[in-house]
A and B are shown apart, each in its own frame.
Chain A
């Protein structure tokens, strides 16, 4: 090796070092480094033929490539998904402690909020409906508030949150619900969707303006669900241990745990998980895409075999209420699966077997949706319209539109090579407000339409 000589300049080694330096940016993948390196080598070759020395050529060529920091920032803007996967912010994340404190404050606020109705003589045992109707209002607006602080969105955002909360707090508590009220149940089920969208508006930090940020929020939602389940399991174990340990020494804290520890802990967890997902997105590989990959084939298999059995047994139009509810739940899970699969896909990747499988899943879900729709319209014609049937009908129609769009764009993606992925992404993010608007209709208008029954 001649590199021991101080005067000798080892071009290959310098290029390798430069490449290492480039690759340190998480927004720049191996492929991109290859591309930049081939550019660098072309430039060096051209300079060498002009008679420059290797070290001079290297210096000028790297200089012309420009500031790698700025280049990587541009890359990050183009490929936001990558950052999600391996973001370790290049500037030292010095306000980590600050983030934790803000998250803790909001979590404690959520935990306290849950206990506030006690001051007015309500408690979870006797007034469970008061709590059921308001439970998402206790926690999700605070998670939204956490993002307002983090993204520095200012007073406009606070007013939006306040307005939304006021509107739905009045709706949920002042509507004259009947004692047994289907519309009331539906409202409880649909309110979280609206509030979660509110969280999304704040999370994007730009008022839901760009597709890239919307996709980030969908990724966030996927990770959030998984983290929340994990934390819930951990919390359950912790609570059980606590109750057990205290019972050993003859102190019964079960009531305390049920009334204070568990509900307030869950409310606080809603905020903490939000912080955790954002803080940890750099260090762990996302779980959602992994799960999506595992379950896409399984769900496809399930749906296809279900359809086959339906066709063979001819029971398609004779489905009962429970079956329809099950089918709808399943379709929503499938939609979630598709959402995660799309948001975790590397956009420039050529279509693979997995995309075909995904298309198959969407098509199977579409068939199931059509079967459910026909069964549902049969029921409506035969037995009249009820709040549950109307809500389910609307949901199935929206699913029909949404899944058709997915099928269409997946087909385009597979046929036209990778250029079609941006359209698929756009379809996905454009549909989100549609779901939210329907949820708002169910919460706000359906009860009035059916006189709060």
Chain B
């Protein structure tokens, strides 16, 4: 599915922070993990991930270092800082509020749909 641009932009920060919070990782792995988490529905333009990572690093949420991984390839690994964890926590709470509100609306809508059917 194609998500709207705004939604992508808003959700990418908690997603990336969340994935990295699972353990130190690098860009390609993050993309794969997000795809996996969304059942393949969320497909980013891979290149766009890197400016985002750099922004988060600049804001002090991430730390990066170059490391030669298991496949003998030099990769830039990212880890979450204390501040990053705090931000992630805040974002989590915010998204939960939205999530709950939306869920309620979907439920209510479904109910009124059913009522409409009865009415007819």
Whether the Cβ atoms of B74 and A64 lie closer than 8 Å is no
Whether the Cβ atoms of A422 and B76 lie closer than 8 Å is no
Distance of A146 Cα from B18 Cα, bound (Å): 46
Kindly name the residue among A77, A78, A348, A417 whose own CB sees the greatest number of chain B CB atoms within 10 A: A78
A77 contacts which chain B residues (CB < 8 A)? 51
Interface-located stretch among B58-66, B86-94, B100-108, B112-120: B58-66
Whether the Cβ atoms of A35 and B47 lie closer than 8 Å is no
- CB nearest neighbor in A for B29: A42
* Given A39-B27, A419-B83: A71 touches B60 (CB 8 Å cut-off): no
A67 contacts which chain B residues (CB < 8 A)? 45, 47
Whether the Cβ atoms of A74 and B60 lie closer than 8 Å is no
Whether the Cβ atoms of A43 and B28 lie closer than 8 Å is yes
B27 contacts which chain A residues (CB < 8 A)? 35, 38-39
Interface string of A264-278 (1 = CB under 8 A from B): 000000000000000
Whether the Cβ atoms of A38 and B76 lie closer than 8 Å is yes
Q: Knowing that A70-B45, A70-B48, A422-B60 are A-B contacts, what are 15 other residue pairs whose CB atoms are under 8 Å apart, sorted by A's residue number?
A: A31-B76, A32-B50, A36-B50, A38-B73, A41-B73, A42-B28, A65-B45, A65-B47, A66-B45, A70-B47, A74-B52, A77-B51, A348-B54, A348-B64, A420-B60
* Interface residues, chain A, with chain B CB atoms under 8 Å away: 31-32, 34-36, 38-39, 41-43, 45, 64-68, 70-71, 74-75, 77-79, 347-348, 417-423
The listed residue (A65, A68, A75, A348) touching B57 by CB distance below 8 A is: A348
Within the complex, what minimum Cβ distance (angstroms) separates A215 from chain B?
A: 12
Within the complex, what minimum Cβ distance (angstroms) separates B55 from chain A?
A: 5
Within the complex, what minimum Cβ distance (angstroms) separates B88 from chain A?
A: 15
Whether the Cβ atoms of B60 and A43 lie closer than 8 Å is no
B41 at interface by CB-CB < 8 Å: no
* Given A35-B27, A419-B83: A71 touches B50 (CB 8 Å cut-off): yes
Within the complex, what minimum Cβ distance (angstroms) separates B82 from chain A?
A: 9
Interface string of B10-53 (1 = CB under 8 A from A): 00000000000000001110010000000000000111101110
Whether the Cβ atoms of B28 and A38 lie closer than 8 Å is yes
Distance of A31 Cα from B53 Cα, bound (Å): 13
Distance of A43 Cα from B46 Cα, bound (Å): 10
Whether the Cβ atoms of A34 and B74 lie closer than 8 Å is yes
B60 contacts which chain A residues (CB < 8 A)? 419-420, 422-423
Whether the Cβ atoms of B55 and A38 lie closer than 8 Å is no
A38 contacts which chain B residues (CB < 8 A)? 26-28, 73-76
Whether the Cβ atoms of A75 and B54 lie closer than 8 Å is yes
Kindly name the residue among B31, B45, B50, B63 whose own CB sees the greatest number of chain A CB atoms within 10 A: B50
Interface size on B, residues (CB 8 A): 26
Kindly name the residue among B48, B54, B59 whose own CB sees the greatest number of chain A CB atoms within 10 A: B54
Distance of A397 Cα from B74 Cα, bound (Å): 50
Distance of A39 Cα from B32 Cα, bound (Å): 11
Whether the Cβ atoms of A74 and B63 lie closer than 8 Å is no
Whether the Cβ atoms of A68 and B47 lie closer than 8 Å is yes
Whether the Cβ atoms of B51 and A74 lie closer than 8 Å is yes
The list of the 10 closest CB pairs from A to B, nearest first, reads A74-B51, A66-B45, A419-B60, A71-B47, A42-B28, A65-B47, A66-B47, A78-B55, A35-B76, A78-B54
Within the complex, what minimum Cβ distance (angstroms) separates B9 from chain A?
A: 11
Kindly name the residue among B28, B64, B76 whose own CB sees the greatest number of chain A CB atoms within 10 A: B28
B74 contacts which chain A residues (CB < 8 A)? 34, 38
Within the complex, what minimum Cβ distance (angstroms) separates A83 from chain B?
A: 13
Distance of A423 Cα from B31 Cα, bound (Å): 29
B52 contacts which chain A residues (CB < 8 A)? 74
The listed residue (B51, B64, B73, B75) touching A78 by CB distance below 8 A is: B51
A39 contacts which chain B residues (CB < 8 A)? 27-28, 31, 46-47, 50
Distance of A41 Cα from B59 Cα, bound (Å): 28
A41 contacts which chain B residues (CB < 8 A)? 73
The listed residue (B26, B48, B63) touching A417 by CB distance below 8 A is: B63
Distance of A384 Cα from B27 Cα, bound (Å): 65
Whether the Cβ atoms of A36 and B47 lie closer than 8 Å is yes
